[in-house]
Amino acid sequence: MADPEIKLPRTSSQDGNLSGSPQLSPEIPIDQEKEKETNNDQKSHSSKSSTIVNDDTIHYEYLTWQTAPLPTPAFPSPDSLPDSLPSTAAYEKIISPFLWSESRKNVITWLSCAATVVTAYAAGSYTSGEEQMEAEWGVSRTAITVGVTVFTTGFAIAPMILAPFSEINGRRPVFVITGVLYVILQLCCAVTRSYGGMLISRFLKGCVSSTFSTMVGGVVSDIYQTEDRNTAMALFSGAALFGTGLGPLVSGFIAANTTWRWIFYLQVITCGVLMCFLVVFFKETRGSVLLSKKARAINKYYEELEALGIVGVVFDTGNHKIVRRIRWKVKSDEERASILTMISISVYRPFHLLVTEPTVFFFSLWISFSWSVLYLTFGAIPLVFRSLYGFTLDQAGAVFASLSVAAILATVIAIYGDKMMKKRRPNMNDTPEGRLWFPCIQSCLLPIGLFWFGWTSYRSVHWIVPTLGVGCATMGIFSIYLAVFNYLADTYHKYASSALAAQSFCRNLLGGAIPLVIVEMYTDLGYQGASSLLGGIGILLTAVPFALLIWGPRIRAKSKIASEIMNTE
């Protein structure tokens, strides 16, 4: 691929004055006699380019990923070159994440998905040890279940505060720091001797682990263009549901054969190993952070050249060449607000979108309900299968395998379904609504699965039948999760992180609250009645994607924010 032409949109000198092009600006001081000599030289030697040497003023240029090739340093004649020149490798190796090799992108994607799995695992694994914790600390089952609620509360709140730090410092430092804290807090859960200590540890663990899930969508956006994101986002969505099912599955066997503390010791080991892989193989993905790093590396290279007496770079204007000293800077660094301002915006904007944007509100409602159904399985599955079929703790935990298997199937279907739709409808993803065709169909599996689970929960019906109903509902949840992420990202672009933060807040709060009431709900309404109530709500909310599929463009046109984004593109 040929290098694009250099784009130097603006330049500024040390005093802050800006000029409109990389060429010699009017305010640059030039000796009048030298200018006359140059003009005379151009007249007498029109076939040759002359060189104008600038003064020692350092001029600042804005660096972008399209700035290539860089201006050539003003090297002297070959005979005058120093024996050793500074290496350019430090900045040449920093390229746009969109241009990374597929193998490098795959490593980042799979590491991110693995981090999502361990986070989702932690949410549900706790419930298998509730009986032992209840007996050890002498508190009620509902009080013990609060451990799930405080975890998801931390998970809902923390991203709004932590997100600005990833914009300033990048994804990797936030991942590494919160990952280390996550392992430490897992250990705190394992060794705590009090109920209060467990709740505090669970809340803080929810806060730090939120980065492993909420930032993964940002990582995917960092390295993949919009049209190439579906596979990575499908893997991310599948990882979240796979880990949710894997937690109770594994911890059920642990709690049945040893103490509840080993539920957390195992996570200390697995998360510690994952952290080693993250530290070694996970590279920074945020484009603006990498661009700033590249600018610093180029500036350091220029300083090393100047120390050798090679001052300035050459700009070819066509009529003559200009040599001047420059340094590179990144516009996003100048436009960035203070950290307190960024945090306040990060907290305010999601709620603003939630109450002013119908699309954000109804999508948040839709995914919050589906997430509450996912979390109700933590209480409903043990209740139904132990009371009706006499399952032991580990046998009831094995039923959660249906969630993990369904997540794998749904991921495969989403990946290949998207490829099939692109072949049949090449322009399908030209609008955000194009991504809703498949979810409109697949999301119907959620209410179907709820009715299936409820109305087959009888002793006379083999246990595999309601288990399959759980898997069916999980596939519906997957499609909703993926559709919400894709649609909000495609619709709100630069405000996508705020729109996604709004749905994440609602989703995790409602998902964490539902386990507190699910046992009473299924006991009072009956297994069939409770599942039918949820299935009916699911049917009503399934209308959301159909409504957007039909009226989405009209709704976006009436939206102040969405229409503003459409008009600027």
Per residue, what are the HEC states of 313-333? EEEECCCEEEEEEEEEECHHH
How far is it, in rounded angstroms, from Cα 469 to Cα 456? 8
Q: Which residue has the tokens 């467990």?
A: 198
Strands 320-329 and 313-316: antiparallel
Residue 9 has pLDDT above 60, yes or no: no
CB 68 within 8 A of CB 3: yes
Instruction: Pull the structure tokens for residue 174.
Output: 């936030």
The 3-state secondary structure of 34-77 reads: HHHHHHHHHHHCCCCCEEEEEEEEEEEEECCCCCCCCCEECCCC
DSSP letter assigned to residue 79: G
Q: What is the DSSP letter of 497?
A: H
Mean pLDDT of 174-194: 95
Answer yes or no: is pLDDT of 191 > 50. Answer: yes
Banded model confidence at residue 214, pLDDT cuts 50, 70, 90 = confident
Give the residue-averaged pLDDT of 531-549. Answer: 92
Give the neighbor-by-neighbor strand order of the sheet with 18-19.
18-19, 11-13, 50-62, 320-329, 313-316, 72-73
- Answer yes or no: is pLDDT of 39 > 50: no
Both tokens of 435, joined, read 């991504």
pLDDT classification of 42: cutoffs 50, 70, 90 = very low
Residue 316: pLDDT above 50? yes
pLDDT of residue 334: 86
Tokens of 229: 């994101």
423-449, pLDDT tens digit by residue?
Answer: 777 666 667 777 788 888 889 999 999
Taking CA atoms, 539 is separated from 240, 436, 443, 446, 533, in Å, by 23, 17, 9, 8, 10
Predicted confidence at residue 416, as pLDDT, reads 87
Structure tokens that stand for 505 in this block? 């807040």
| Whether the bond into 164 is cis, omega within 30 of 0 | no
In 103-152, beta strands by DSSP E: none
Q: Which residues, 6+ apart, have CB-to-CB distance to 369 below 8 Å?
A: 510, 537, 538, 541
Which residue intervals of 138-170 are DSSP H helices?
141-169
- How many whole angstroms separate alpha carbon 231 and alpha carbon 486? 11
Res. 236: pLDDT tops 70: yes
Q: Are 187 and 197 in contact (CB under 8 A)?
A: no
Token pair in block for residue 385: 């299968």
Q: What is the pLDDT of residues 399-412, one digit of tens each?
A: 999 999 999 999 99
Q: Does domain 97-285+339-552 have CATH number 1.20.1250.20?
A: yes
* Residue 126 to residue 407: CA distance in whole angstroms: 20
Residue 73's beta-bridge partner residues?
A: 313
Instruction: Quote the CA–CA distance of 205 and 150 in Å, as a whole number.
Output: 9
Neighbours of 109 (CB within 10 A): 22
Model-level pTM? Answer: 0.84
Closest among 243, 241, 266, 263 to 252, alpha carbons compared? 263
- State the amino acid at position 460 in one-letter form: S
Band of pLDDT at residue 498, cut at 50, 70 and 90: confident
Question: CA dihedral defined by 100, 105, 108, 109, rounded to 10 degrees?
Answer: 150
Task: Over range 256-280, report the average pLDDT.
Answer: 95
**CA neighbor of 116 nearest in space, from 148, 155, 147, 146:** 155
- Which pLDDT band, with edges at 50, 70 and 90, does 565 fall under? low
pLDDT of residue 247: 95
- CATH 1.20.1250.20-classified regions of the chain: 97-285+339-552
Q: What is the pLDDT of residue 432?
A: 78
Beta carbons within 8 Å of 183's beta carbon, 6+ residues apart: 268, 271, 272, 275
Looking at per-residue pLDDT, the higher value among 76 and 112 belongs to 112
Res. 19: pLDDT tops 70: no
- Identify the pLDDT of residue 108: 96
Residue 321: phi, psi to the nearest 5?
-110, 145
Which is nearest to 234 in space by CA: 493, 410, 106, 440? 410
Question: What average pLDDT score do residues 356-367 get?
Answer: 91
The answer to whether the beta carbons of residues 442 and 479 sit under 8 Å apart is yes
What is the model's pLDDT at position 13? Answer: 42
